[in-house]
Structure formats: structure tokens, C-alpha cells
Chains A and B, each alone.
Chain A
């Protein structure tokens, strides 16, 4: 008996190692681009465009050690022998590896008669990394120009700090409002009887497929008429509108499958619909509410298009500030990568905070699936 248990545990442990290994490999692949982004965010703009980000890690690479200038008597059109290697010009141009591991590469065109000798050497950690990108992102990008009187002027652009606050003012209500409205609607569609219920629900879900780009221009016109442009209310309403179909759909899926018995007994106890909804449905739906909250938060936080159109420059949010960092010719990628990292922190915190609501047991025995 004891031996059997031990064997069972051993098997369990080895399968747990396999499990964690599989997950680690998947996670590593998933993380690779993120590591690239992180490394890039510490590098300066010239490095970014001249070498791969992974070159900051120790690796072997060819480095030119010396040059050989061929004697004028050597015929460069035929096979050439240099340092015991015989090859044609074309082969040298593509690089030839000598028996001792050195690489010989022709420098320039035929007439230069010069060959670069490169040796394969270990390169350690690249230390050309700095926090400069983060500093300029957080304190505002500085722009230097010469004014009419010939003086050099340095001005700072808007910093991410104020954009951060605006993003909060946009995102928190634009996450909670649609969830509240959608939860009410999902309960209505799932548990209340009224004429047109099915048709209205089909229409709501069908609106999932409307590309939001079709709505931008008409809504902008409405807002101009209502004098709402640039206000927080305008952008909350827009995000609510675009997020509602999915919210209703997801929450309906959850709320409709709550056990009928719970609701019926509450009804028999004389509870009103409003009480049932606030006291019973909302607490029971927390996992569904939390998972939708995570995504709505993310989408609104990372949204660029809707904010650009309805907020404009008045209350600039993080994504607009980031896009502004790219520069007119898209040259400032080093700032963009740092900004992307800074702006990623809050969604991650929200995820971590809400993640604890996905606990086993909360719905134990009450979900039929």
C-alpha cells in the first residue's frame, strides 16, 4: 500500500515536471518578443537600427582584426591565394573561412586589393544601455530648435504623467459603465419576460460585427451638434457603445446559465427584480464581470483611434502621447518602446488584481456549463 502511494506520488511529480516544462516553453516563446521590446527600450536610437537586440547578450561574432593589402603583382581576375586560402574574387567578396577559423572578406571593389581578416571572438554583455529613453518619455520629449534670433531653444513636450491621469479618467468609467449597463441588460434578457425579447437580443448580438469605423463619422457629427466633443462623457459613451454588444453577449452567456432554483426561491421570498439583481446576480457573476472588466479595461486603455477622434488634443491619453513620441518620420522607436512598457504596467496590475476572482469553488455546483 505504502509502496503504491509512493509510486503514485513519483509519477505525479514527474508529470508535474513535464507540465511545468511545457508551460515554461510556451511562455518563453510568448515572452520572446516582449524581451526584445524590453531590451530595445534601454538602447539608443543608433544601436536599434544597426544591430539586433539579442546582441546585448554574450555571443560570438566576427570582428575585423587586420587588413591584408595584396601585392600589385597578384592577378585579381584569377584564383587568388591569401594566407593559405585559394579563392576567386567573387568568393572572397562573399567571405571565405580560413582553416584557422578566420574569415577573409574582400573590402570594397576589385581595385582596392584589400582583404579584411575577421576573427571570431566572444562579445560579453553590451553595456551600452541606459534609462535615457524612460527619462525622456516620463518627463516629456525635449525638442531643440533655433529661434529667429539665432538662440537655441529647448522645449519639453507633454509628459506621460498628465496623459496617465487622463487615461485613468477615461478608462475607469469606460470600463465600469458598460459592465453595469450590460449586466442589467443580460439579466433582463435572460430572466425577464417581455415582448420583443428575442428579437432585441439578436439585434444586440448582431451588432458585435459592426466595424466601429463605420460609426466614427456619424457619431462625431452628433457630438458636434450636442457640443460634447472633447469631454470625458463623450468618450465614455463611445467606448460603452462599442463595448456593449460583447459585454451583453458574454454576461448573458454566464447569467442565463445560473441555476434557476436560486432565483425562484428568491422570487418566492418576495424579492423584487432589482434586489435579486443587485444582491444575488451581481455577486454570483463576479468571475464573468471580472474577466470582462479586464478586457474592457485593456481595450480602452490601449485604444488609440476612438480617443484620437473624440478627445483630440484636449485631454490627451497615453496612447496619443505615445503615438506622438514616434516622431513625424517614425524615427523615435526607442522612445516608443520605453513608453509601451510604462503604459503596460497598469493593465498588468488590473489583471493581477482581478485574477484572484477566478477561484475554484466560487461557482461550485451551480454552473451547468
Chain B
């Protein structure tokens, strides 16, 4: 296509024709992007300042937002493909990855660098204090507790979420009622934690000892029904950590299940059939066919949940506020940053969190190399 247009003037040789063709090309190349920008800008102004009925605004917003991004990609690529072939080859990759890089740089990378800088400064960020914040982050008892708890979250939370997600995905795949099971396991994810927190409070609720006290917490009701005595579950360490981890498993299993399930669906049916015809039992099929086939997905899901468990904040914040020995790193970060207003310490904690996840990332990149994804 490009070659065709480029060759044309040479063949004809006329200077005027050459000028006209090129000028019109340049003009079109200018008019289309400018036109797009004007349209998008008008849309932005309309959305910001208009008093149209809400439903109209909402519809315009959706069309403008989604259509705008698609149009920007299309026009940029169109421009790049109009360039000489060598240029296209060089520039096009950046059209593809550029927007993602730019947005990530703005929203995550630059803030992360700022955080790194702040972590060497004092609480109100006006004095350099060296590694003092890191000494706090690695030696303070509160932080050591948080590290221990995060380790529990990481190991048990991740293991049970992934294992249950895998078991359910594989089992449900063989059932006629697959969709029903999957929807039921998925429901916890659909409830916002603002609401789900309430129900877990009712499960672990403790009314106190005394005559005529009726437990409104499900766990205590079961314990009392079985002849035990009611316990203030959430205040008793270290078991309260596990009770909170159960909440995370309840929430995250749906995530693991959906992703693993889509990978299980990708295993060619002929492969499974062939194994069955050969007389392999289901356990053998599970370990020798299913697991190796979805190994890549399992690593992805595990990585995501490991990182999630390290960054976990809302469950602890809503249920115990980090008290009673249930503090985790992300909660301590939040407390330092927004409750105690100590930007320095909070930043150091965030950087520690970042460092803690590097081994996971390195492992992942190795995996990419091994699978020749790069």
C-alpha cells in the first residue's frame, strides 16, 4: 500500500503532480488527527459542563470514552502506516505499547519513585533522615508482627484459594450444572466488601458471657450448640489471623476458579478422550494431563494472588483494624500514612512491600523465558 503511493510520483515524474499528491497526503494526515482531537475535546467539555439529563450524560460518556480510545489507536496507527516502511516498522511497536507505558508511568511508576524519595525523609518530608524509616520498618515490633502475619496470608491464603479454585474448576468442568456451581462460588466476589464485611462480622460476632446472652454470631452459635462456650474469636491471636484468611479465601477462590476454568477449557478434548480410552484413571489424567496443560495459568493465578495477599488491606481494616495481633503490612502503611500522618515511614513500608514481591516477579520472568514467551 505505502510502496504503491511512494512509487507513483517517480513514475509520473511531474513536479506538480508530485507536490499535489504529497501535499494532499500531508493535509489529510493533519486534518484527520486534528478533527479527532476537536471532537474529543468537545465531548469532554460537554460532559464536564452540560446539564443534560443524567441518562443522556451517561450514554454520551460511555460512547465518548470507549470510542475515543479506540479512535485514538486507529488514527495513530493510520498515521504511522502512512510513513515510509522502515519508519513504520520502528515506530509501530510504540503505538502498541506506548499508551500502556505512559499511563502506568503516570499512575504507578512516578508515584513509586516519589515514594522511594519520601522514604528517606522525615514524617512531613522536609528533612533527609537516611535509613531511619527502613530501620523502623525492619525492627519495630509492630512491623515484625505484620511481616509474620503477611507470611501467613501469603502461604495459607494463596494455597487454599488456588487449590480450591483448581479443584472446583476441574470438578465443575465435568458436571452438567457447571454454570450454577461457578456462579455460586463467584458470588462472594460480586458483593462489595462494604457489604460483605457486615456478614463476616455477624459470623464472628461475640456477645459476651452472661446469663441469657444469645449469640448472634454464627460461629459462636455453632460452638454453643455443640456444647462449647462462646469465644471472642477476632481478639484471640494467633488464630484470629486464620479466621481472617478464611474471608480472603472465600473472596479469592472465585477469581482463581474463573481463570483456571478458562484454561481447563483450553485443553483439547481429544487429549482427554485419548487418555481415557487408554484406561488412565481420573487422578492420573488430573496430574499428568490437566496440571501440565494449565501450568502457565496456575503460575499466573498464584502470582496474582500472592501479590494480592501481600497488598491485602480491606479485610483486616474492616474486621479488626489491625488490632489484636492481626496487623498486616498494607494496613500499617495505611495507618502510618493517613492516621499518623507519617509520610516517611509509610513510604518505607510501601517500598519494603515492593521489594518483598521481587522474588515472585523474578520467578515469573524466568518462566516466561523458559516457555519462550519472549
Chain A residues proximal to chain B, CB less than 8 Å: 15-16, 19-20, 22-23, 26-27, 30-34, 36-37, 40, 48-54, 93-95, 105-106, 162, 165-166, 168-169, 172-173, 176-177, 180-182, 184-185, 187-190, 192-194, 197-198, 200, 202-211, 213-215, 218-219, 222, 231-233, 236-238, 240-242, 244-246, 248-250, 252-253, 256-257, 272-274, 277, 287-288, 290-291, 294-295, 298, 301-302, 304, 318-319, 322-323, 326, 333, 336-337, 339-341, 343-344, 347-348, 351-352, 355, 358-365, 367, 369
Nearest residue, chain B, Cβ from A198: B374
Pick 8 A–B contacts, CB within 8 A, sort by A: A23-B177, A30-B250, A106-B211, A204-B101, A211-B330, A304-B194, A340-B195, A344-B192
Give the bracket for the number of chain B residues in contact with chain A: 35 or more
Overall SS of chain A's interface:
helix
Nearest residue, chain A, Cβ from B53: A165
A249 touches B300 (CB 8 A): yes
A351 touches B190 (CB 8 A): yes
In the assembled complex, B311 has its CB within 8 A of some CB on chain A: yes
CB distance from A233 to the nearest CB of B (A): 6
Most B-side CB within 10 Å, residue of A27, A165, A290: A27
Nearest residue, chain A, Cβ from B195: A340
Most B-side CB within 10 Å, residue of A15, A236, A295, A351: A351
A19 touches B175 (CB 8 A): yes
Overall SS of chain B's interface:
helix
CB distance from B181 to the nearest CB of A (A): 5
A184 touches B65 (CB 8 A): no
Note all chain A residues with C-beta closer than 8 A to B10. Answer: none
Note all chain B residues with C-beta closer than 8 A to A363. Answer: 265-266
Note all chain B residues with C-beta closer than 8 A to A194. Answer: 90, 93-94, 97
In the assembled complex, B12 has its CB within 8 A of some CB on chain A: no
Note all chain A residues with C-beta closer than 8 A to B126. Answer: none
Nearest residue, chain A, Cβ from B90: A194
Note all chain A residues with C-beta closer than 8 A to B300. Answer: 249-250, 253
Contact of A211 among B81, B261, B311 (CB under 8 A): B311
CB distance from B304 to the nearest CB of A (A): 7
B108 touches A215 (CB 8 A): yes
Name the 7 nearest CB pairs between A and B, nearest first.
A340-B195, A241-B107, A188-B96, A173-B65, A185-B100, A302-B192, A194-B93
CB distance from A110 to the nearest CB of B (A): 13
- Total number of A-B contacts with CB less than 8 angstroms? 359
Distance, CA A274 to CA B353, complexed state (A)? 38
Known: A34-B188, A211-B330. A361 touches B100 (CB 8 A): no
Distance, CA A238 to CA B373, complexed state (A)? 29
B261 touches A358 (CB 8 A): yes
Most B-side CB within 10 Å, residue of A26, A31, A214, A323: A214
A36 touches B199 (CB 8 A): yes
Known: A184-B73, A215-B107, A359-B265. A344 touches B334 (CB 8 A): no
In the assembled complex, B55 has its CB within 8 A of some CB on chain A: yes
A304 touches B104 (CB 8 A): no
B211 touches A232 (CB 8 A): no
Distance, CA A164 to CA B74, complexed state (A)? 32
Known: A23-B172, A173-B61. A291 touches B259 (CB 8 A): yes
Q: Would you list which residues of chain B between 7 and 30 have a CB under 8 Å from chain A?
A: none
